[in-house]
Amino acid sequence: MYWREFLTIMMAHALAVASPGPDFAIVLKQSVTHGRRAAVWTSVGIGCGLSVHIAYCLLGLGLFLKNSALALAVVKYLGAAYLAYVGVQALRSKPRTGDMELATSVVPPTDRAAWTTGFLVNLLNPKAALFFISLFPLAVSVTTPKIVQAGYGLWMTLTTMAWFSFVAFVFTRERVRRSFLRYGHWIDRALGVVFLGFAVSLAFATIG
């Protein structure tokens, strides 16, 4: 029975994590702008943000969040505000005059700052919260031991980190990053528009 639950969760999570969204966009931005180390730490932050969603679902707090219009609204607007902030910062990207060598002119964030960016992008996404709030009651039996459910959560956390770290490695390969850096500020600005789009969409979305 547990294997059936695990396969259901694994498939649903794989489809969700591979879908383009704020998490993917922030890892792409970090990869192109700051390089592999920052992108990998951002990926770890995303996984840690996801683990918070899983934890409160396991503790039964997910039902409160789902049924509290005020709590969902607070998370929604905080998330929209943070995505808008990231978008504005990206729109302010300045032109560069070279390719790989110019990447050194951009001061990379500290590991902690990169982790925090990924953590907040995931944590303040109420759609991510509702995914797990809906997934666990549908896919997991109430009789499944909490330790087994925690195992499901650990799997999703680690595979999320692994997936986005893989994305980071792909987009920070020298040939790939060199191509991106030729048009780096335009890519940053395009991603800024994407983040602003996510922010607007989230702000006006009906959650719940």
Residue 35, phi-psi category: left (phi > 0), alpha (psi -120 to 50), beta (remainder): left
What are the tens digits of pLDDT across the range 116-174? 999 999 998 877 877 887 777 777 887 889 899 899 999 999 999 999 999 999 888 87
The pLDDT value recorded for residue 99 is: 46
Mean per-residue pLDDT for 176-188? 66
The pLDDT value recorded for residue 45 is: 97
Tokens standing for 181?
């850096």
Cα separations in angstroms, 26 against 55, 57, 67, 72? 23, 25, 30, 23
First to last CA, the chain: 30
Domain ranges of the chain: 2-204
- Whether the CB-CB separation of 79 and 125 falls below 8 Å is answered with yes
Q: Which of 77-81, 95-99, 170-174, 192-196 has the lowest mean pLDDT?
A: 95-99
What are the tens digits of pLDDT across the range 56-75? 888 877 666 667 777 777 77
The pLDDT value recorded for residue 198 is: 73
Select the more confidently predicted residue: 205 or 164: 164
Nearest to 181 by CA among 94, 96, 89, 59: 96
Q: Which of 18-22, 153-157, 182-186 has the highest mean pLDDT?
A: 153-157
- Whether the CB-CB separation of 130 and 207 falls below 8 Å is answered with yes
Cα separations in angstroms, 184 against 22, 32, 104, 179, 187? 19, 7, 13, 9, 5
Q: Where are the alpha helices (DSSP H) in 102-145?
A: 111-123, 126-139
Mean per-residue pLDDT for 25-31? 90
Q: State residue 26 phi and psi, 5-degree precision.
A: -70, -35
Alpha-carbon span 10 to 113, nearest angstrom: 30
Apex CA 97: angle with CA 109 and CA 197, to 5°? 55
Tokens standing for 96?
């560069």
Alpha-carbon span 193 to 31, nearest angstrom: 17
The pLDDT value recorded for residue 207 is: 57
Cα separations in angstroms, 5 against 12, 25, 125, 129? 11, 30, 25, 20
